[in-house]
Structure 1
Amino acid sequence: MSQIWDFPSDIMISHLLSPSDYGTSLKDLNVVAMLHHFWEQKQVKGSDTQSEDSLKGSVSQSEDSVKGSVSQSEGLLLYESAPSPGPPYICYVTLPGGSCFGNYMECESQAKARRDAARVALINSLVNELPSRRITPQFITHSLQEAASASTVSVEDACDPSTSIGTYCLLLQSYTGRTMLEFQEVMTVFQLLHWNGTLKILRKRQCSRQSVIGYYSQRGLDASMRSSMALDWLGQERQTPRQLRAELQAAQSELDVARRHGNELRFYKEKTEILSLALNDPQRPEELHHERD
């Protein structure tokens, strides 16, 4: 099976994306073990430039050692199966750093859903190592021009940290030399803060954009932040009944569409979890619980 590593990366990615269209040697690859070894070796070597070559020979091992690798992956990768009374099943895998992917094919078993989620995560992990996925000064310039064009603002405003595009510029510059997946991880935090209304509140308190970026870039998402956001949504529910239920349905729909397209899912998944946390809060007024039922 080691001959697979002689393929160019784009051919290997094509094989991984559509295993049913290719030979059994590719269909039988243990993508769960491959994903684990990829991230295990990245962490051990501490390299931001490691490519799919780091996986060479990692799957040519005995059945027992493969099972051992998969069981050890629980501390490195987080697999979650969505509750379901029957097929099709859904599985999510969260990578070190927080990026999340799910199975994009309809799966008749939990095991197949897990393998498909691992395949999508592995493809994105491999692509993320390509030079084109690095944030460079040229990339920043191009991104700012696109952002300015899309939002009808001046690209010169990128020099002003008090503007939205200026904030975006600061974030990009702080991640120069790092990958787009790493940048997306921190962007998810700010997407959630914007969605939740926290950024608007901080602006009213006259908090500088630099201080907000500095604080939340280092903090990351944790249980405390999720609980705080859930309480905020609970407060909005008291003012606008049934808003939580509508928001959750919209978030679940967005998550499903993004998963079927093989996209990174953390923003959508965090939204559904925060809203579900608010809906299940024991402090919710009794009439709101009845509305949900």
Structure 2
Amino acid sequence: MSHTSSRSSASSLENDRQEMMTSAQKNRRSNNGNINFNNRNSRGRDPNGSASSASSTPTRAGNLQQAVEVVMNSFYKHTGGLNSVDAVEALQEFWQMKETKGQLFPAGGSSCPHYTDEDSDSPPFVTYVVLPGGACFASFEHSVTLADAKRSAAKIALMNSVFNEHPYRKITDTFIQSAVQDALKVHNGPRFDAHNPNSSIGVFESMLKSHAGKTMLEFQETMTIFQLLHWNDSLKAMRARQCSRQEVLSHFSNTIIDDKMRRHMALDWLSREQDSPGVIKRELRSCYNEIYRERREGKELRFLFEKRNILLIAQEQLEGKQN
């Protein structure tokens, strides 16, 4: 795919976005099913180990597939008569175009999506893709080869990348006001919490304001960092040291998720393993349970993906000590 044809494709996506969004909205229903994850080696696949489970939620899967096909067909119509569109190449072209338009990525990163394959000797295979802006998606279809899994991940990431270009995905003053009000309702907090820099809502508002003009996917990396700090009890430890929420926000606002951060958090889980044997294995099972559900619905996975990475590092170090 040439840069000229990809630019034409991206422009055409603006015309097709509304159709895509209509299809995608059909897939917004939450999954309340309780999946019993007993197979540790299923890693993000069917918790029950069934290869036929790809059709267990046909309506939801069909709606998601329909939304993805709208995007892919749009590329197909505007690529100079090519018989097919490679989703992996199309996704890379999309983000390269954003870079040429002045898009800046965290920590000076490149415009190339980064793929990670889940270890598996048999299908269904699972691949994760982390976008240059920090968001993460994974293969949502039943993939019988690693190549299929990579294409599936690229397709869902491309759909969400295009969806993210819509103006209402921008963080504006109106959006911030609405998001804060929604947060107050969810947590039953008093209105003055939104103006208290040390309250959870106040910190949330500060985080949004610091990302004004950006999109929700660009905001995802910062949100993931604080989700990880909360999950890892790092925020609790900071509160014990009497650090204010605003101080924590300032300290981590320019932090990136890298191997150093993952290894540091993995050490915390090794420490927990000493106090509660088996906790890493249990937490990893729970994580893969969530990944299985969320990726099948095409949802953003960066928080779960990083939990997985941290726990796998901890597990590997634990097994190394035991051997």
Q: Secondary structure at the match of 1:277?
A: helix
Q: Measure the CA separation in 1 of the matches of 2:152 and 2:321.
A: 41
> How many residue pairs end up in the alignment?
261
Which of 89, 98, 101 matches 1:42? Answer: 98
3-state SS, counterpart of residue 218 of structure 1: coil
Where structure 2 has 5 or more consecutive residues not aligned to the other structure, the ranges are 24-65, 78-82, 105-109
Cα distance change of structure 1 residues 206 and 278 upon mapping to structure 2, 3 Å threshold: same
Query: How far apart, CA to CA, are the structure 2 residues paired with 1:132 and 1:236?
Result: 42
Partner of 2:17: 9
- 1:178-211 CA distances to partner (integer Å, 9 max, x unpaired)? 1001111110000000000000000111112222
> Aligned with 1:280: secondary structure?
helix
Change (3 A) 1:22 1:181: closer
Distance (Å, rounded) in 2 between the aligned partners of 1:176 and 1:79:
29
Deviations 1:1-33 (A, max 9, x none): 9797385223367566147x989x578222211
- CA pair 276-137 structure 1, distance change in 2 beyond 3 A: same
2:268 aligned with 1:212: no
SS in 1 for 2:137: strand
- In structure 2, what is the equivalent of residue 146 of structure 1? 182
SS in 2 for 1:93: strand
In structure 2, the CA distance between the partners of 1:122 and 1:199, relative to structure 1 (3 Å rule), is same
Q: Against the structure 1 CA distance between its residues 285 and 89, is the aligned structure 2 distance closer, same or farther, given a 3 Å change threshold?
A: closer
2:26 maps to what in 1?
A: none
Whether the 8 Å contact between 2:134 and 2:217 is mirrored in structure 1 is no
Q: Is the 8 A contact 2:95 2:111 kept in 1?
A: no
Distance 1:282 1:86, change over 3 A: closer
Which of residues 93, 109, 120 in structure 1 aligns to 2:129?
93
Question: Which position in structure 2 is the counterpart of 1:184?
Answer: 220
User: What is the alpha-carbon distance in structure 2 between the residues aligned to residue 102 and residue 285 of structure 1?
Assistant: 32
1:170 counterpart letter in structure 2? S
Structure 2 matches for 1:1-293, cutoff 5 A? 5=12, 7-11=15-19, 17-18=68-69, 28-47=84-103, 76-281=112-317, 286=322
Q: Distance in 2 between matches of 1:203 and 1:22?
A: 51
What amino acid does structure 2 have at the position aligned with 1:94? V
- The residue type paired with residue 247 of structure 1 is E
SS in 2 for 1:219: coil
TM-score normalized with structure 2 length: 0.74
Q: Give 2:92's aligned amino acid.
A: H
Maintained 8 Å contact 1:101/1:262: yes
Report the RMSD for the aligned CA atoms in angstroms.
2.7
Deviations 1:97-139 (A, max 9, x none): 3211111111122222111111111111111111000011111
Query: In the aligned structure 2, how far is the partner of 1:283 from the partner of 1:16?
Result: 43
Number of the residue aligned with 1:64:
none
Q: How far apart, in 1, do the equivalents of 2:20 and 2:92 lie? A: 17
Task: Show structure 1 runs of 5+ residues with no match.
Answer: 49-73
Distance 1:152 1:216, change over 3 A: same
* Contact 1:234-1:284 at 8 Å conserved across structures: no
